[in-house]
Structure 1
Amino acid sequence: MSSETELNIFQRFARLHTLTSGWYLWLSGLARLPISMINIGTLTLVSSVTGSFIFGGIATAAAGLGNAIGGPIVGSIADRTGQRRVMNVTVILNLVALLGMLLAAFNYPEYSAWWMIAAAGLAGLSTPQVAPLGRARWMAVAELQNPGKPVHQRRDLDTALSFESTLDELGFALGPAFVGLVAGIFNPALAIVFAALFVLFFASAFANHPIAGVVHKYQQSALAEQRKKLQEKRADEAVTPDRWWTQIIFPVAGMVGQGTFFGATGVAVLAYTKTQGLGDSGGLLYGAMGLVSGFTALSVASWPVNFTNRARWLVSAVALSILTWILSFQAISPLWVVVLLLLLLGLPVGPTMVTTFSTVSEYTPPTRLATAMTVTQAGIVLGISVGNAVGGLLVQADGARGGFLLAAIAGTLIVVAATANFLQKRIYHHGQIRR
């Protein structure tokens, strides 16, 4: 059989099954659906019960803010105590929050809006951090399965992170579609019920998968080795706890830009379809961009190893920024022009996300995997909230052009972050000092 570096792209993704187990890959996808289901489900339920999109927007913002705050906290605890324990706690709290939202909706009508907003905030705070903790697992698995083989580690990690980003894209497309279908045919409350069931069965199964224990042992071993080096005063080989995080500042800033891009583009597309007499079909156009993005995210696994993450991120970010600025100038063009530009825009979106996470993985010591991934994920969540809120105001004032303009500005922010990351002196790489 050919060496691992000679595997084609299909063999690389098939290898992910051997690194974990076949059902883990499916579980990872299903377990992250509740995140998007809770956001859109909250908006739909609260708006329906109160008759006000303002309250619906406030509740959704509360869920997003809670997620941005809770994610890094969960990640930090997971690095110290292991993923299994903290995720089981978040599953329980999340179920309580979702149940509280349903009870408030039907039993306390005079206080329902504020009780539901409070429950939405708790739901966001306790959202099981499947995507970032899943990426942290792959970072550990790639190194454990390829000891002393950095090229093989890089290939496996590229493949895994490409797969993870594609799952994210599919999750944010399928989750809202499922909620819309259930809410439209049956009742908005049933969408929240289904989100709770997904949390109960799939998020809890993800939390207790054996890989969680493997990663925790790996981190404990790395921590013991780090303490040993510190005791031996070999400072040239030890990770300085108060310095590693400075390396991920630019990637996290880039993710805030990426989230703002997503939020603003989504609002702008919805505004555009309404002006074209297509009603609320903007989700279909946005989903088409996401589908293209998902496929190109998968392609990153086959990119040359000597094409560094820093260079990959910068090239992808520049392409994203250029296409978004073109789209902002074509915001009132015929439908076929906007659709074509959205499809082209999907090409660099997936690789930009994959390479940003890959860049973070390079700078993160083994003892801080979950913390780094959840902080990075929080950047996306925060950016989406900004994009939705500010983009909504701009769309109100200037139509789709205002939303696309904000998306273009966000694209420029990503380029600035990628450029700064490309130029910065890299000190730490997988916990080792680089000269």
Structure 2
Amino acid sequence: MERDSPIRTLAASIGIGYFAIALIARLPYAMIVVGVLTMVVDARGSLAVGGLTSAMVGLGTIATGPLIGAAADRWGQRPVLLLAALVQSLVLVALVAVAYGDTPEGMLLLVSVLAGATAPQVSPMSRARLVGAIGRMRLARGAHGRLQESTMGYESAVDEIVFVFGPVLVGVVAIAATPAAPVLAAAALTLVFVTAFALHPTARTAGHASEAGDREPARRIARPGILLAAGGTLATGLFFGAMLTSLTAFAKAGGFPEQTGILYGIMGIGSAILALGVGLLPRRFALAWRWIAFTTILLVGAVLAAGATGVLSMGWALALAGCGIGPTLATLYALAAARSPRGREATVMAVLGSSVVVGQALASMIVGSLAESAGPSVALWAPVVAVVLLLVFGLLNFRVGRIRP
């Protein structure tokens, strides 16, 4: 790679340390959902209450994620993130006290909603920062688009890594200390690293109202191209939730429940590696066609997973699915970034991120009931349905026309 390549120029302009800070800053949320479940089951002795409490965390994130993104577009990321980091750290500590205290379940659920509602939205804000930084770079014609695609691929890979290894970290910390330790650790990580992320100079690269007089109105977010990208991330979330839930039922029925995490990790690792490579694809392989191509690979992997009979066949199927899901997710974010209204990047990225969470929550709830009533062999077809929906959105995407470079 040349010394003056766009990727090296971008890394030099924002600093290598940024990537480490942004990665660790998004780790707490990946820990919270599983960490709250583990803690509440230990504190209240009920898996049902633990599952409901964990779901409330996701519900809180869904409700406020786009609003936090809109606030960042309006007032800038730094004040919004600093406030969110402080409030969420306090809420997480309060959640531990409420879980182990003599409080009604209603209070526990309320605090859990607040824990999700105050999530700092590091992932979409990081994407908005990098899009802003790329927009300010002087590059050759066509280089902006390629660099933006590479950056969205990197961000998607980081999300995959965090959500694969976050639950693993919860398990390690819980075993080494107490079931409450992962939630307290998430509070500490939020306070330290989200604050560091907020104070990083890249906070200035994301446009907001004070520096963008031509900031487009919020209604422009409802453009068909952005709505289709959000529909794509919703379907992706449905796939994640359906696959994890049905895979858990499959492994339990097969007598190897302890291998669920390993099998799911096979898909996550492959997804992260392929997402990193999307920037190397030729420009003539347009984003709209990438959506269709990689979703087709994902569909084949999902169908093979539905017909898997054991650990080995499931592992190969998930490895193939990972080759499709990572590049697809990176493509969706790249499309949304290219179509984002001026000054609304953080809002758009938060909408896409919240759509993933919505899909995961819905699929986990529906497929969990399906697996109990009909068995894992039927539940494993739910991810296939989610991928078909993703493919339909991809086909509809061709109707929105050409995107601006």
- Confirm or deny that 1:410 pairs with 2:386: yes
Deviation track 1:321-341 (CA, whole Å, cap 9, x = no partner) reads 23212322x14x132111111
Question: Alpha-carbon deviation of 1:262?
Answer: 0.4
Deviation track 1:228-273 (CA, whole Å, cap 9, x = no partner) reads xxxxxxxxxxx67534522211111111110010011111111122
Matched with 2:245 is 267
Deviation track 1:85-128 (CA, whole Å, cap 9, x = no partner) reads 111111122112101111112332x42x3322211110100001
Q: How does 1:286-435 map to 2 (within 5 A)?
A: 286-328=264-306, 330-331=307-308, 333-426=309-402, 429=404
Q: How does 1:172-183 map to 2 (within 5 A)?
A: 172-183=163-174
Question: Alpha-carbon deviation of 1:2?
Answer: 4.8
Gaps of 5+ in 1: 228-238, 431-435
Is the 2:218–2:344 Cα contact (8 Å) retained in structure 1? no
- Pick which of 402-411 and 35-44 moved more: 402-411
Q: Which of 242, 245, 248 is the equivalent residue of 2:219?
A: 242
- Confirm or deny that 1:80 pairs with 2:74: yes
Q: Which of 34, 49, 54 is the equivalent residue of 1:60?
A: 54
Q: State the alpha-carbon separation in 2 of the partners of residues 422 and 220 from structure 1.
A: 36
Matched with 1:205 is 196
Gaps of 5+ in 2: none
Is the 1:220–1:367 Cα contact (8 Å) retained in structure 2? no
Instruction: Give me the identity figure in percent.
Output: 29
Matched with 1:32 is 26
> Aligned to 1:429, what secondary structure does the other structure show?
coil
Q: State the alpha-carbon separation in 1 of the partners of residues 41 and 22 from structure 2.
A: 30
Matched with 1:135 is 127
Question: Alpha-carbon deviation of 1:47?
Answer: 1.4
Is the 1:31–1:130 Cα contact (8 Å) retained in structure 2? yes
Q: Read off the aligned partner of 2:375 and give its amino acid letter.
A: G
> Aligned to 1:280, what secondary structure does the other structure show?
helix
Is the 2:297–2:320 Cα contact (8 Å) retained in structure 1? no
What TM-score results when the alignment is normalised by the length of structure 2? 0.95
Q: State the alpha-carbon separation in 1 of the partners of residues 328 and 47 from structure 2.
A: 33
Tell me the C-alpha RMSD between the 2 structures.
Answer: 1.9
Is the 2:57–2:116 Cα contact (8 Å) retained in structure 1? yes
Aligned length: 404
> Aligned to 1:281, what secondary structure does the other structure show?
helix
Matched with 2:100 is 106
What TM-score results when the alignment is normalised by the length of structure 1? 0.88
Question: Alpha-carbon deviation of 1:380?
Answer: 0.2
Q: State the alpha-carbon separation in 1 of the partners of residues 331 and 210 from structure 2.
A: 27
Q: State the alpha-carbon separation in 1 of the partners of residues 278 and 97 from structure 2.
A: 45
Is the 2:89–2:187 Cα contact (8 Å) retained in structure 1? yes
Q: State the alpha-carbon separation in 1 of the partners of residues 364 and 138 from structure 2.
A: 42
